[in-house]
Structure formats: C-alpha cells, structure tokens
Amino acid sequence: MLAVRSLTIAGPTPPADVPPAAECFAHLRNPGTRRIYAGAIRKFMSFAGIQRLEEFRSVRRAHVLAWRSDLERRGLSGATIRGKLAALSSLFQFLCDERALPTNPVTGVPRPRSDGLRGKTSALSDGQVRQLLCAPAGDGLKARRDRAILAVLFFHGLRRAELCAIKVKDIHDIQGVRHFRIRGKDQRIRQVPVHPAATVAITAYLDAAGHGDHAAAPLFRPIVSNVTKRLDAALQPSGVYRMMKRYANGLGIDVNRVGPHAARVTAAANALGQGADLVTVQEWLGHAHLSTTRVYEQRKTRPEDSPVFKVSY
C-alpha cells in the first residue's frame, strides 16, 4: 500500500509560469465537463495538501498512484475512478502544453478496468413506460404538461437539459414532417422528427398553457414559482427529474432506476431492439462517438423477451 500523500518531492522549475486557474479547463467546451473536472481536481488538491496551482509542479506519479489507491479503498466504482484520473490527466496535459510542466505524471498510471459496455442505468420495460406515460391524470395544465414531457423523453431520448432548452419555435416542419430543433452538447444542433404521440400531447399542453404563439418562449415552463421565481422561464432539469421520480413512486416502480437518463436509455434500447441502425441512433441521440451509443446497444435485449417466459408446462 502506498504511503505517499503530501507533496514532498520538489522538482525543477519549468520555464513557463503556471496559468491562472480560470484557464486550466477553458479548453473544454462543455460546461458540465468543466464542472465535473474541476470538482475532481479539488478532491485531489485536498488529498495531496495542495493550496496553490504552482504546487502541481511537485506532483509525481507516486502521488497519483496513492490517490488512485485511496479512491479504491473508499469503494468508488471503476468508472468514477477513471473519470477522476481523466480529469487530473487533462489538467496536467494542459500544463504541459503551456510549458508549465515537463511531463504528465498521470501518463502510464493504470486505470481500473471497464465494467463493460453495459452501463449503470437500466432500460425500463414496455409495460413500465406505458404506465408512466399515462400516470399524469386529468385535463389540468400540470397533467397535460407532464404527459407531454414524458412523451418527449420516452419517444425521443433527449437529455434533460435538451428538453428544457426547447423553445416553441424549435418545433418546425422539414419536408412536411414535424421536427424538434435540439441544442445538444457543445451547442451542436440536430433535427429530430417528432413522434405522433408527442405531437398530440404537446398540442393539448399548449392549448391549455396559451403560449403556443410565442415563438421565443420556452416550450416547457413551471406551473408554480420555482427557483427562477418566474412562470415564463424554462423548466429546470431538476424539476423534470423530481417529476419523473414522483410518478414512478406512485406506480411502485423502483425510483432509484427512474430518471430522465433512464428514459433516454429506454428509448435507445427500444429503437435498437426494433432494428434501428446503430449509426442512425448515434445521430438521433447526439453522441459524438459511436462507442457511446454502443453502451445502449448492449441493453436492447428486454427481459420480457427471455426464453424463460416461453416455457409452458
């Protein structure tokens, strides 16, 4: 077991100054990635007793190995540890590129093996999806809005932030087919055809909400005042998450499995199970790399299709 923790090994001073903290992750275009990486770096700084960025010059491979061992002792998953090491490596690579450091001490540090391509979030069964789509009862504004949100999530596999960013004007026709204009990660725009079931639900919601003629208005808005204190602002991703949990709990569905990402996994697995092309699904979901989509491909087999349920005596 490695005993190295505090920075006790002094190294030669590189020729360039260490850039300001604000620049270290500026090269990462996605704000979510920047936030996650910054959090991982703060954890490493706490572990190693680093107070100032200049002290990263004293970090050696032994310190990184000690941190990895500490993360393993704490029971973190392999994927989480790989992510934290990736964040640390990204920082050191940036410092190397800026000539503030001669080498990246994370290079060559073994990372936990992948748990495979299956991923953590399970797809829901067709029956569970049907239950959730029908869970918002009544003709009130909230019920209509929630039915529309659930239809958009389960039929289109959008991320929470993507759903909340949709404006009324983002629903438009292309060659006579209704589409969503979706702003994905890194502000990449993709056009996603609207499922007929979602069209019906959205129309019913906008008829009750009354902002269907306001092109620049957010499509999905809060019913009561939320953190923004404005009812004409876009619904927050956290509100979508709480809404899905509430309906799942009411139906007796394991709430730990249900969330907007579960809807994304379910939509992708369902489409792949019905024969959709992997590359087409990649474009549909807005994945930058096909390897990300392959995670969903591994979950396209539904438990209800098992030969177990074909056995009859």
Same domain, 256 and 156: yes
Domain range enclosing 197: 126-303
Identify the pLDDT of residue 126: 87
For residue 121, being part of any structural domain is answered with no
Same domain, 132 and 28: no
Splitting the chain (313 residues) into consecutive groups of 10 residues, what average pLDDT does each group show?
48 51 67 82 90 87 93 86 89 86 89 60 83 94 96 91 94 92 85 92 95 93 72 86 90 74 85 82 81 65 58 60
Q: Which of 239, 244, 263 is nearest to 164 (CA)?
A: 239
Q: Which residues pair with 179 in a beta bridge?
A: 172, 193
Identify the pLDDT of residue 9: 43
Residue 245: count of CB within 10 angstroms of its CB = 15
Identify the pLDDT of residue 10: 45
Identify the pLDDT of residue 185: 80
For residue 68, being part of any structural domain is answered with yes
Q: Which residues of 125-147 are buried (b: 16+ CB within 10 A; e: fewer)?
A: eeebbebbbebbeeeeeebbbbb
Same domain, 237 and 163: yes
CATH of the domain at 62: 1.10.150.130
| β-sheet with 171-174: strand ranges across | 171-174, 177-183, 189-193
Give the end of a domain, one of 115, 142, 167: 115
Give the end of a domain, one of 115, 140, 164: 115
pTM for this prediction: 0.65
Same domain, 55 and 146: no
What total of structural domains would you count in the chain? 2
Same domain, 99 and 4: yes
Cα end-to-end span (Å), the chain: 57
- DSSP three-state, residue 133: helix
Same domain, 90 and 157: no
The DSSP code sequence of 18-32 is PPPGGGTTTT---HH
Identify the pLDDT of residue 280: 85
Give the Cα separation of 257 and 244 in Å (integer): 11
What is the CA angle 5-62-27, rounded to 5? 95
Identify the pLDDT of residue 13: 46
